[in-house]
Amino acid sequence: MANLTVSRHFVEAALTGAKRLGFDENALLRQAAISPELLKIDMARVSSAQYSRLMQAIWTDMADEFMGLGPRRCKPGTFATMCTLVIDCPTLEAVYQRAFQFSSLFEPSACLRLEDDGQTARLVMAIEGELHDPMCFLQESLLVIWHRLGSWLIGQPVELNLARFRYPRPPHGDEYRHIFHCPLQFDAPDTELHFDRRFLSAPVIRDRPEMHQFLKTSPADLLSRPDESNTFTGRIRTLIGRDFAKPLPDFEWIAAELHTSPQTLRRRLKQENTSFQEIKDLLRRDLAIYFLARPELPINDIAHRVGFTEPSTFHRAFKKWTGVTPGAYRDGDRGNGD
């Protein structure tokens, strides 16, 4: 599968607290091998590996897992301690209850509270005190980390039915489609994730050795590398693969491989806020960005590798995806911008 990429917006947002508190942003970017020149391109994207390294650098250098955005400093090791406490829970319901109990020990607290009305389970944002989160990054991160941690612990994705946000739709709101894979509501009474309560009884299948390995790269990897393996989006990405130089499978073949009808698959993709064409386009985009980071590859060769017979067509498509030509993007990635 092609390297997933992360929008420049999330790089800038992750650095908001560091900037406010006077940390050296460029030093943090260098630790992640991200060129500051690349971030001058409005629609630039970084690899998931770069983004993961950036998050680790921010947490380590700031000694704050809330990245300077929360109502208080969250000391390094807090997330790992919470994970060691929930690994012995029997079910996902117990995981979320214990995680909330642990997080509530710190004042002011910033976490998610589990609510259950008998049909729908909700993870509701519970934040005390004042946030310094103008780009909503801490709130997004808490939602993603708690949701994906729960999915990892039970070995299956907790399928979301609805994601609601107390704030207005942000300028980067379109990115939410690929983060939550469910209908979105803004200007809601609470920030919360809705899912079927049947997931609450799912057993925790991970053990302590697995958790030890998991914590070597998490929660950074939870933010940068979502497990899409059981979404239709992720399964289609896997079926397409990364060899765009050969003809791609058509939609009917994909549907048959997934043991569903084309009509049902279209409906499921719509529920996941995407389409077959968009999946192909984003795969091409991510693969092109991955290849552009390899300076030995000529741009015309990259065009062929990502499925374009004419370099000019590739240039037009890439400019649509990122706002700049492949050459300008490569120069920015190398730090050769103006």
Q: How many domains, the chain? A: 2
Q: On the CB side of 294, how many CA atoms lie within 13 Å of its CA? A: 11
Query: Percent of the chain scored above 90 by pLDDT?
Result: 73
Last residue of a domain, one of 224, 256, 273: 224
Say if residues 77 and 64 touch (Cβ distance below 8 Å).
no
Last residue of a domain, one of 199, 224, 249: 224
State how far the Cα of 233 lies from the Cα of 299, in Å rounded to an integer: 28
Residue 303's alpha-carbon distances to 44, 242, 254, 312, in angstroms, are 18, 13, 24, 9
Task: Pick the more confident residue, 66 or 271.
Answer: 66
Q: On the CB side of 89, how many CA atoms lie within 13 Å of its CA? A: 25
Say yes or no to pLDDT of 178 above 90. no
Q: On the CB side of 133, how many CA atoms lie within 13 Å of its CA? A: 21
Say if residues 194 and 160 touch (Cβ distance below 8 Å).
yes
State how far the Cα of 148 lies from the Cα of 181, in Å rounded to an integer: 13
Domain match, 77 and 185 both: yes
Domain match, 52 and 114 both: yes
Q: What is the pLDDT of residue 247?
A: 85
Mean pLDDT of 260-270: 92
Domain match, 243 and 209 both: no
59 φ/ψ angles, rounded to the nearest 5 degrees: -60, -40
- By CB atoms closer than 10 A (0-12, 13-18, 19+), residue 304 is middle
State how far the Cα of 315 lies from the Cα of 304, in Å rounded to an integer: 12
Mean pLDDT over each residue of the chain, to the nearest integer: 91
Domain match, 197 and 273 both: no
State how far the Cα of 4 lies from the Cα of 45, in Å rounded to an integer: 10
Say if residues 205 and 32 touch (Cβ distance below 8 Å).
no
Domain match, 216 and 136 both: yes
The residue range of the domain holding 330 is 232-334
Say yes or no to pLDDT of 2 above 60. no
Domain match, 71 and 204 both: yes
Q: Which of 151, 166, 162 is nearest to 194 (CA)?
A: 162
Q: What are the beta bridge partners of residue 122?
A: 115, 194
Question: Which is it for the CA torsion 190, 191, 196, 197, positive or negative?
Answer: negative
Say if residues 337 and 37 touch (Cβ distance below 8 Å).
yes
Task: Pick the more confident residue, 109 or 272.
Answer: 109
Domain match, 322 and 178 both: no
Mean pLDDT of 133-140: 95
Domain match, 214 and 305 both: no
Where does the chain have alpha helices with state H?
A: 8-14, 16-20, 25-31, 48-62, 78-86, 92-103, 137-154, 176-180, 208-214, 220-224, 232-240, 251-257, 262-271, 276-292, 299-305, 311-322, 326-334
pTM, 2 dp: 0.85
Q: Which of 64, 68, 59, 55 is nearest to 21 (CA)?
A: 68
Q: Which of 181, 174, 194 is nearest to 229 (CA)?
A: 181
What does the pLDDT look like over 226-254, one tens digit per residue? 656 667 888 898 888 878 888 889 999 99
Domain match, 38 and 151 both: yes
Last residue of a domain, one of 205, 224, 243: 224
Q: What is the pLDDT of residue 1?
A: 41
Say if residues 114 and 97 touch (Cβ distance below 8 Å).
yes
Domain match, 47 and 104 both: yes
Which domain CATH number covers 248?
1.10.10.60
Q: Which of 186, 191, 176, 196 is nearest to 274 (CA)?
A: 176
Q: What are the beta bridge partners of residue 125?
A: 112
Q: How confident is residue 293, by pLDDT bands cut at 50, 70 and 90?
A: confident
Question: Which is it for the CA torsion 325, 327, 332, 337, positive or negative?
Answer: negative
Q: What is the pLDDT of residue 338?
A: 45
Domain match, 200 and 292 both: no
27-42: b (≥16 Cβ within 10 Å) or e: ebbebbebbebbbebe
Say yes or no to pLDDT of 134 above 80. yes
Say yes or no to pLDDT of 337 above 80. no
Q: How confident is residue 3, by pLDDT bands cut at 50, 70 and 90?
A: low
Q: What is the pLDDT of residue 336?
A: 65
Domain match, 218 and 246 both: no
Of the given ranges (105-114, 199-208, 287-296), which has the lowest mean pLDDT?
A: 287-296
Question: Which is it for the CA torsion 64, 223, 126, 84, positive or negative?
Answer: negative
Say yes or no to pLDDT of 194 above 60. yes
Query: Percent of the chain scored above 70 by pLDDT?
Result: 96
Q: What is the pLDDT of residue 271?
A: 82
What does the pLDDT look like over 11-61, one tens digit per residue? 999 999 999 999 999 999 999 999 999 999 989 999 888 999 999 999 999
Q: How confident is residue 224, by pLDDT bands cut at 50, 70 and 90?
A: confident
